[in-house]
Structure 1
């Protein structure tokens, strides 16, 4: 049997000419379909005479209805030239991997198939063998989507870096970022170079001690050590730089890559207004005992959510410089956009001794949001709650309120009445209602995204954004759903 595309086919099989003379077309189609997803018997007029496929899922794409139609009429318009080339005996250069085409499917996404064609002497049909590429196309779409998201995140990161780098550069106050352990300068703005260096040269990599007068180096070192372990800024006056000019300092700690580094704000000592502006922060108190070092972010709260202890991984997660900035605060401080989540969690702990996999959105000290999974346990003897907070790499859907279709959805809302403000319930329930409407639109349109956007009164772009937010990018109407 002679393959039109110059090789033995996508699945590496060949059929002898003698076999075609001893078998009827049905037997041939059934035999070839054992090694392929789709087999078409096409006559000299490009009319499909027989269709064979082993995967029952392909029946939903209407392949069985193509019998009696021209193969060119069953594919999308951009695939027609490929079919013409595949069926033409005059075509000399053919792709070794076959022709990738898309079948038109009413109410469904196009069906991608890669076809190869075969002819034999005295056999009235061209055997078209196909392999469906739905999974490959889905993987490609996910790859493209991931690439677009990465590019968008990178662009956003670069834009933010540009904004803050510009603000850092044009600031009139000298700012120095210091490695908290080595006491070497990580970065400094031009104002710092002008104030601390006699030549105005860049300060990165230099020891902070070398920039101050010998008599004041120990004072500066002690102040830096104090700031690394204090929730409040440390102020220092009457210090002289190496050039001899008196300056004032405010030293703050911040968390970076698991290390507590230091930010110094430095200005001439005679600028009283700057001293007042830099030192108007309200002190934060509180002490506590740190939890044993565990491989995940862990914290301990009382029954009202006030933090009693936390480990360093939790500090890294929320970008808190020190433990004292966490102790005494309510855990809801880091779940401001999902306050109802924590209330639901603590309410459930009254009935359940432990909860696992409770998902929510954490807001860190830099106002960044990230999806997290929370496991919690109530210690009845001490009336304290232990929580493990694990960042989630994937998944956007929160489990704040029972998902649409769950039998306990109404009970879930009822249990919150009297414990959660009505406005919070309404705000959070809007997401649930929106998700129900989107799913209903996808069901009614057999997952036709363009038509679903139209009946919802949304643009396609808005619909795709909402699909990602609700985790419905791969949504497919199930057999038990009503259209």
Structure 2
């Protein structure tokens, strides 16, 4: 009787020959067909000798009679290497693992099937059993569509909230949001603080009527009561507690099953900020620790703050304005092209990791955020440059120097060859898969090996390699 190599089991049969007996070919064929959606028998050259398809879905998807064809010719180009590896391992009698293979279906469609190969027979035969993944692929596609829909809805909400915040904060008119039941202030824009002399922290939670002169409380109360029953009652004149005359208007809206009041305090003179905003902004930029640069569209420097002069070892703003930013920022022919493309297409750039070359030739790791300012007379770019060379790296597990995230891997681009990045990516994915399997199985290594499709010895080798888990009891 020809014996095929079998996958390692957490608890294998102790006496398979005695308990199973000499199984007939019909019984073996029925068992294999019942345990799989598709079963294929290959010769030593990988040519299909016979097959059994139990899944009607696979038949409807166009999987035909492959007898006499090389199995590798039935899969798409992305799966040919996987098929070669499976047949090589099976022919050598090595433990195999489940692999996802994509077949060529009707009308150019892709049919995913999860396969496992059993080999090691004396005549070189290989039995391949497969499970149909089309239902799983459909669910994954639906999940992806739902996730994308949720992300689009979330983005729309964020954009709507941003517009509301911008209008709310920039309005010169004093605007408050009150709880309709308690009449307490939930939100107030900066104009309210300037009008009443209160701060952002003290105005929230206050009773709105406490801001008014006692003689105006009754009229204001009637207006607020009317706003809960009438769509938009007529405004009434009131006086603040400091004697400032205002016109009070209110309307009600509902959100999250609760009622709120939108209240406006209108004065004859618009409430404006006391300080010069441009002078304040200039003073802040001069004192901020991050470097700030303004350039024209050709990256010629127009103005800089002192932090940029310190970072590049320039002596004065006048010296900087004679230079181009590409003398200092980015890896040659790589980073600036990407940054400029992003600015031209989207108008903003956030947290772009690159390097800055100082005046004496040394290089510093920096993070760049930028914005394009359209102007018919002189369009400009503004760059905020943060030195991240001294930023503490996240703690890594002992014995491993792998990047901890995809973000860290992308930061290697331009610094190390792509071949090294691909190898680091493979190691990172392998480590994350092992950690996930250990968490899923409550650190049961035998079960984790089964989940990953690895032998226990292979899993233990990888645990040692990545320094995962408690390794003291592995050899016990």
Please report the TM-score for the alignment, with normalisation by the length of structure 1. Answer: 0.50
Q: Deviations over 1:204-223 (max 9, x none)?
A: 21110111112212221221
Cα deviation, residue 183, structure 1: 0.6
**What does 1:377-416 align with in structure 2 at a 5 Å threshold?**
none
SS, match of residue 186 in structure 1: strand
Give per-residue Cα distances to partners, 1:329-383, cap 9 Å, x unaligned.
Answer: xxxxxxxxxxxxxxxxxxxxxxxxxxxxxxxxxxxxxxxxxxxxxxxxxxxxxxx
* Most deviating of 158-167 and 114-123: 114-123
Q: After TM superposition, list the pairs within 5 Å mapping 1:425-464 onto structure 2.
A: none
Return the offset for 1:92.
Answer: 5.3
Matched residue, 2:103: 103
- Determine helix, strand or coil for the equivalent of 1:64: coil
**CA distance, structure 1, for counterparts of residue 235 and residue 58 of structure 2:** 73
Alignment partner of 1:258 is 2:237: no
Who is 1:62 aligned against? Answer: 62
Matches within 5 A, 1:29-428: 29-89=29-89, 90=92, 94-95=96-97, 98-107=98-107, 109-119=109-119, 121-122=121-122, 124-198=124-198, 203-237=203-237, 239-269=238-268
**Residues 104 and 200 (structure 1), Cα distance of their counterparts in 2 relative to 1, 3 Å cut:** closer
* Secondary structure class of the residue paired with 2:52: strand
1:402-425 C-alpha deviation (Å, 9 max, x unpaired): xxxxxxxxxxxxxxxxxxxxxxxx
Give CA-to-partner distance per residue, 1:148-192, whole Å, 9 cap, x none: 111111112111111111011111111111100011111111111
What is the CA-CA distance between 1:79 and the residue it aligns to?
1.1
Q: CA deviation at 1:30?
A: 3.5
2-side partners of 1:143 and 1:184: how far apart?
43
Aligned equivalent of 2:417: none
CA contact (8 A) 2:96 2:116 kept: no
Give the match's secondary structure for 2:129: strand
In structure 1, C-alpha distance between the alignment counterparts of 2:79 and 2:202, rounded to whole Å: 61
Change (3 A) 1:189 1:22: closer
Over 3 Å counting, the alpha-carbon distance change for 1:201 and 1:8 in structure 2 is closer
Query: 1 CA distance for matches of 2:81 and 2:169?
Result: 59
1:142 shift after superposition: 1.0
- Give the C-alpha shift of residue 31 in structure 1: 3.2
When residues 43 and 20 of structure 1 are mapped into structure 2, their CA distance, relative to the original with a 3 A threshold, is farther
Query: For residues 30 and 167 of structure 2, what CA distance do their matches in structure 1 show?
Result: 71
Q: Distance in 2 between matches of 1:20 and 1:127?
A: 20
Tell whether the 8 Å contact from 1:113 to 1:130 is kept in structure 2 after alignment.
yes
In structure 2, the residue corresponding to 1:29 is in which secondary structure?
helix
Distance in 2, matches of 1:265 and 1:7, equals 73
Q: Within 2, Cα distance between the matches of 1:58 and 1:115? A: 14
Contact 1:188 1:202 in 2 (8 A): no
Contact 2:6 2:95 in 1 (8 A): no
Equivalent pair of 2:177/2:263 in contact (CA under 8 Å)? yes
Task: Tell me: CA distance 1:18–1:66, structure 2 relative to 1, closer, same or farther (3 Å).
Answer: farther
The residue that corresponds to 1:475 in the other structure is none
Q: Which digits, 9 at most, give the CA deviation of each residue in 1:240-297, with x for residues without a partner?
A: 11222011111111122223321111111568xxxxxxxxxxxxxxxxxxxxxxxxxx
Q: Distance in 1 between matches of 2:4 and 2:16?
A: 9
How far 1:202 sits from its partner (Å)?
A: 5.3
Q: CA deviation at 1:21?
A: 7.6
Q: For the Cα contact (< 8 Å) 2:180–2:260, is it kept in 1?
A: yes
Q: Is the 8 Å Cα contact of residues 193 and 201 (structure 1) preserved in structure 2?
A: no
Structure 1 residue runs without a partner (length 5+): 272-483
Asked if the contact 1:51–1:64 (Cα under 8 Å) also holds between the matched residues in 2, the reply is: no
Q: Is the 8 A contact 1:194 1:200 kept in 2?
A: no
Shift of 1:4: 5.8
